[in-house]
């Protein structure tokens, strides 16, 4: 694993700072870059591990802390206490602020000499999957991989905004969405709504449903970890990034 990691502070549009975990790949840059959007558990050990793994694939990897307004620096475990605290923070998210944070994180990467500025992608898990989809709609990300993004097709977006799925025609890059067929948090009709919106918009996309996987299938610290699905989604993600961020 890469040890070229550091804690960073990202300037935001409101004049505050947003923490982040940055990992650099081996070799001289500039490199393409990938944002790693966290779950409700913060930029914890698992997200840090994923960020290091992304850097091992040859990308500048940044996990921004978009709970910085309400729970800056929080790192939660995958237990009842962590779930309770994370759900409270989740309920305080607002779409416009999430979009602003995504833009600020992209701006941070574009301010670096070791990043190829037009080749930035994102991946995220759970609410981070939602953040990935939202950022793909509202920024110029070249590629995005949303893992079990909750509430993308809900009747309201975060903080009572318009449904995130209604923003789909604004996506300019490529997007993959991965879901678990056993995931009761994201019923099949919402997956169908996302697929239909992407098809109607003519967006370059793939939607994959892993029949035997549940919510959180990519996280090897959760009881719902499903190795085969996690490995396949990771392979597909980096084929996407290879084609769009390196091609």
- Quote the pLDDT of residue 14: 86
pLDDT value of residue 1: 43
Spatial separation of the C-alpha atoms in residues 58 and 246, rounded to whole Å: 10
Q: How far apart are CA 130 and CA 178, in angstroms?
A: 11
Confidence of residue 3 (pLDDT cuts 50, 70, 90): low
- Tokens standing for residue 204: 């370059």
| Average of per-residue pLDDT across 113-122 | 96
Is residue 177 among the annotated active site residues?
Answer: no
- Give the pLDDT confidence score for residue 2 in this predicted structure: 46
- What rounded mean pLDDT belongs to the chain? 97
Q: Give mean pLDDT, residues 80-96.
A: 98
User: Which one is catalytic: 65, 101, 104, 183?
Assistant: 183
Question: 126 an active-site residue?
Answer: yes
3-state SS class at 148: coil
Whether the predicted pLDDT of 149 surpasses 60:
yes
Would you place residue 181 in the very low, low, confident or very high pLDDT band (cuts 50, 70, 90)?
A: very high
B/e letters for 133-153, b = 16+ CB within 10 Å, e = fewer, are bbbbbbbebbbbbbbbbbbbb
Residue 206 has pLDDT above 70, yes or no: yes
Helix axes 95-110, 127-138, angle to 10 degrees: 70
Closest CA to 97 of 61, 123, 129, 135: 135
Catalytic residue from among 46, 126, 177, 205: 126
Q: Of the listed 174, 215, 218, 226, which one is catalytic?
A: 215
Per-domain boundaries in the chain: 5-246
Helix (H, G, I), strand (E, B) or coil at 131: helix
pLDDT score, position 247: 78
Alpha-carbon dihedral sign for residues 10, 230, 239, 57 = positive
pLDDT at 245: 98
Q: Are strands 17-23 and 205-210 parallel, antiparallel or unpaired?
A: unpaired
125-139 tens-digit pLDDT = 999 999 999 999 999
| The domain made up of 5-246 is a member of CATH 3.40.50.1820 | yes
In the annotation, is 101 catalytic? no
What is the helix (H) or strand (E) element at residue 10, kind and residue range? strand 5-11
> Whole-model pTM above 0.95?
yes
Mean pLDDT of 63-78: 97
């Amino acid at each position: 694993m890469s040890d070229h990691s550091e804690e960073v502070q990202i300037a935001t549009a409101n004049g505050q700072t947003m923490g982040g975990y940055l990992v650099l790949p081996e070799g001289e840059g500039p490199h393409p870059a990938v944002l790693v959007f966290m779950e409700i558990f913060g930029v914890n050990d698992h997200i840090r591990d994923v960020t290091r793994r992304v850097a091992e694939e040859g990308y500048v990897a940044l996990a921004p802390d978009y709970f910085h307004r309400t729970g800056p620096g929080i790192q939660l475990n995958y237990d009842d206490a962590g779930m309770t605290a994370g759900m409270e923070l989740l309920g305080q998210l607002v779409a416009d602020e999430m979009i602003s944070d995504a833009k600020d994180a992209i701006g941070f990467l574009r301010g670096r000499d070791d990043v190829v500025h037009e080749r930035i992608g994102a991946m995220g898990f759970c609410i981070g999957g939602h953040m990935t989809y939202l950022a793909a709609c509202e920024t110029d990300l070249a590629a995005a991989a949303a893992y079990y993004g909750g509430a993308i097709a809900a009747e309201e977006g975060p903080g009572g905004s318009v449904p995130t799925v209604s923003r789909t025609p604004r996506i300019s890059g490529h997007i993959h969405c991965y879901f678990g067929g056993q995931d009761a948090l994201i019923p099949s009709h919402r997956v169908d709504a996302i697929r239909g919106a992407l098809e109607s918009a003519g967006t370059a996309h793939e939607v994959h449903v892993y029949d035997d996987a549940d919510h959180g299938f990519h996280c090897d610290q959760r009881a719902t970890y499903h190795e085969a699905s996690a490995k396949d989604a990771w392979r597909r993600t980096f084929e996407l990034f290879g084609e769009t961020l390196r091609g």
